[in-house]
Structure formats: C-alpha cells, structure tokens
Amino acid sequence: MTTELKVITCRQGTHRNNKVVFLNFEFDKTLIDAVRKLGCAKWSQTDHKWCIPYREF
C-alpha cells in the first residue's frame, strides 16, 4: 500500500491586524480534521485559508 504525500504551504501574513501563519492546501477532509485538532487554527473566510497565530507556530 502506498501513502500519498500531502502538500501544505505555510506563509507568514497578517489577519485582522495579527501576525499569523497561513496554511494552504487542497481540500482534504483528513488534513482539515488534523488542523482543527491543533486547537489554535482558525478558518479565514476572507482569505479562504487556515491560519495559526504566529506565536503558536
């Protein structure tokens, strides 16, 4: 059995005047569940990406 590697792009940015790290990846339910389990990640409706406070990254 082969495991397909997922690509997540991390980019520093600003969201609502806070320094964050944006996580960008193609829709994948497993990855979304994993990001949600981090507890500090939020979905940005404006940027259409997940973001994590810079201090938590």
* Averaged pLDDT, groups of 10, the chain, 57 residues long: 87 96 96 95 95 94
- In whole angstroms, how large is the CA radius of gyration of the chain? 12
Q: How far apart are CA 22 and CA 20, in angstroms?
A: 6
Alpha-carbon distances, residue 20 vs 4, 12, 26, 33, 56 (angstroms): 28, 6, 20, 20, 9
Please tell me the predicted confidence (pLDDT) of residue 35. Answer: 95
Q: Please identify which residue in the block is written with the tokens 């790290």.
A: 21
Please tell me the predicted confidence (pLDDT) of residue 1. Answer: 67
Please tell me the predicted confidence (pLDDT) of residue 4. Answer: 84
Contacts of 50 (CB under 8 A, 6+ apart): 22, 23, 24, 35, 41, 42, 43, 44
Please tell me the predicted confidence (pLDDT) of residue 57. Answer: 85
The pTM (predicted TM-score) of the whole model is 0.85
